[in-house]
A and B are shown apart, each in its own frame.
Chain A
């Protein structure tokens, strides 16, 4: 055998993985940093598609057209992926300059060193111009971290036609009326598939599952965690009453949590459901003429004459500690959230307020909201607006997101018969206490 020549292709083959590794050595696209080139700020939001995406892009385009030195580029992911995306991108050194978090996560994001405290002049303006619930949501341990963008309160959506057909005159104001109406409107087919749920319970995600329960809890005068955020307060008579109410509704067949309420209500298969204000914006285009049947009323209270209360949640725009251009980022946020411009119907409002109202949502500034709604506008938004005066902001401590998940799991265990009311309350207290009291 003659000695064959050595391989020539092996060099190429060997070079492959190393070339691949070397390809990673390029710097991330973050602007060149050369003097004269514009600063590019990235903004990570969940306004990923449809009307919300367009509504935000409007002001951003306006800013980019009128500012040569600082440009803003939006990046969007679905809300369900937003928190993970914040955390993973931050860990990967690719966090956006401007973040649009759900206020529930603020404690966790502050603890992890993601959010930058607002500079004094911004913090002062925020405290001065926004309402108590909104400021509370963007504050962690007394420090303000961003501009509140929207405030969602919870109220009772109802289908006028379904109530009327069941002989119920108007929306219930108290829990006994609510239950009565729920049982009267419920209908099922012969296999047990729900045709109409009297009272829909969402098991979609943490936000809606816990949101509806906390709205009822506040209406009953209860709280989820103590004001200092260090322990649970749901194991109380009010908490017991809420869970017992939900349990009865499920057990008697008026609620079918397995059915997606957010699909079933628009198609006329749910008579009543507790939801947040943003939903009006998606229901209107989705239902078309059928939206005439949709009404909104305050969250019912346990007994006649009780003080109304509900849950308020919110989002804010803040600046990343890792941003290299914090001054420019805060300047953009001030322009977007605090500068007043003349909106569509001739009233003065901030760009953010105009944006929120244009998509049927609620701005965090009640004054803007009243002005923008004026005499026209969707009357269904009124109850949400009125609720801003008495709504309780969601807790936002470091363990709040996990606490919410734990509460949701216990609520679902209750609905599905895995736990009794007492067990659900006890395990919630044990699990959430362990989470929120952890030292970090």
Chain B
């Protein structure tokens, strides 16, 4: 069997690749323990002289960690909840309800995935700024700061996800119609059918979608950078950690930055390791349609 041919060569390739993948993370962790004058000096040393926690203390001191964590957690939770809710609602309608215009709506959903996010960066920001009756704006969106004063600004552009709708719809197609029909005949409304029958059976794909959304939302950088430039109260963890860098003397602050990075990466890494099966399945699903 070819599967068992040349395993040593395969091991060599795979292990080398894995080392290349993991070493940068180890370097990050090691650097986060290095003392002053230890990082960035020649010759390079992988291990720190002592595992000191001073950089973590400095990172905690310089970062407004409670606020950064709060923003990141709230925004990630809201986005994930909203994407799950809107995707399963719309996915159900597109998969299991019959109504005029369904194909058109489905095609619209598909086409939304075509547009790259950078195209919307400028106009979405301006739309949030000129949101009527928010942040001191008048009815025509003038005079104030719009939604950029609120934490909503961080989440709004990500509340609905065309890919999420597509994914749930594809999954729901495979649900047997007989069960739904039986419930309807028993007098259950569509909301009830959706909540009591469809959602429980869709759980696997919702867990997967939730994880994908969670990781993306937690790691989002560009939009959060823009919004928190307008309003520093809205800084998220990735943006805050990036600000730790000292531009005049980066070598001195690098260990502190690494400590901040470890702190910001940790929650997602733990979640990923706990639920990796669901996450990995999500990525496979997105590739195998």
Contact = CB atoms under 8 A, between A and B. Distances in A.
Interface of A: 1-7, 10, 13-14, 16-17, 20-21, 23-28, 30, 75, 77-81, 84-85, 88-89, 91-94, 193, 204-205, 260, 262-263, 282
B63 interface: no
A178 to B, nearest CB: 25
B102 to A, nearest CB: 22
Interface of B: 42, 78, 81-82, 85, 125-126, 129, 131, 133-137, 143-153, 155-156, 159, 182-183, 186-189, 191-192, 195-196, 226, 229-232, 243, 247-251
Nearest to B182: A1
Nearest to A13: B85
27 contacts: A3-B187, A3-B188, A3-B192, A6-B192, A6-B195, A7-B195, A10-B195, A13-B81, A16-B82, A16-B85, A20-B155, A21-B134, A24-B135, A24-B150, A25-B134, A26-B149, A27-B136, A75-B232, A78-B243, A88-B229, A91-B126, A91-B230, A94-B145, A94-B148, A204-B248, A262-B249, A263-B251
Contact of A89 (B81, B153, B230, B248): B230
Contact of B229 (A17, A23, A26, A89): A89
Contacts, number: 125
Given A1-B186, A20-B155, A78-B243, A26 B150 contact: yes
Nearest to B40: A263
Nearest to B146: A93
Nearest to A266: B249
B229 A4 contact: no
A86 to B, nearest CB: 10
B189 A6 contact: yes
Residue from A3, A84, A92, A282 having most chain B Cβ neighbours under 10 A: A92
Nearest to B148: A92
A90 B187 CA distance: 56
B128 to A, nearest CB: 8
A17 B159 contact: yes
Contacts of A89: 229-230
A28 to B, nearest CB: 5
Contacts of A2: 186
A29 to B, nearest CB: 8
Nearest to B189: A6
B125 to A, nearest CB: 7
B129 to A, nearest CB: 5
Contacts of B153: 24
Given A92-B129, A93-B146, A6 B191 contact: yes
A27 B85 contact: no
Contact of A16 (B78, B135, B143, B230): B78
Contacts of B125: 91-92
Top 6 A-B pairs, shortest CB-CB distance:
A24-B150, A92-B230, A93-B145, A7-B195, A24-B147, A24-B152
B159 A28 contact: no
B229 A93 contact: no
A100 B211 CA distance: 44
Find the residue from B131, B182, B232 having the highest chain A CB count within 10 A.
Answer: B232
Max chain A Cβ within 10 angstroms of own Cβ: one of B135, B136, B248: B248
B186 A3 contact: yes
A28 B144 contact: yes
Most chain-A CB neighbours within 10 Å: which of B189, B243, B247?
A: B247
Contacts of B151: 20, 23-24
Contacts of B146: 24, 92-93
A236 to B, nearest CB: 32
B133 A25 contact: yes
B155 A88 contact: no
A28 B85 contact: no
A7 B192 CA distance: 7
B148 to A, nearest CB: 4
Nearest to A189: B42
Contacts of B230: 88-89, 91-92, 94
Contact of A20 (B131, B137, B152, B182): B152
B192 to A, nearest CB: 5
* Best-surrounded residue of A77, A205, A260 (most CB of chain B within 10 A): A260
B137 to A, nearest CB: 8
Contacts of B183: 1, 3-4
B251 to A, nearest CB: 6
A92 B188 CA distance: 48
A3 B195 CA distance: 12
Contact of B135 (A4, A6, A26, A205): A26
A204 B226 contact: no
Contacts of A193: 42
Contact of A91 (B129, B147, B191): B129
A5 B192 CA distance: 7
Nearest to A91: B129
B241 to A, nearest CB: 14
A353 B263 CA distance: 42
B249 A93 contact: no
Contacts of A10: 191, 195
Contact of B131 (A24, A84, A282): A24
A92 B247 contact: no
A1 B103 CA distance: 32
Contacts of B232: 75, 77
Contacts of B196: 4, 7
A21 B157 CA distance: 12
Given A6-B195, A282-B248, A17 B148 contact: no
B131, B145, B183, B226, most chain A CB atoms within 10 A: B145
A204 to B, nearest CB: 7
B81 A93 contact: no
Contacts of A75: 232
B123 to A, nearest CB: 12
Of B182, B186, B230, most buried by chain A (CB within 10 Å of CB) is B230
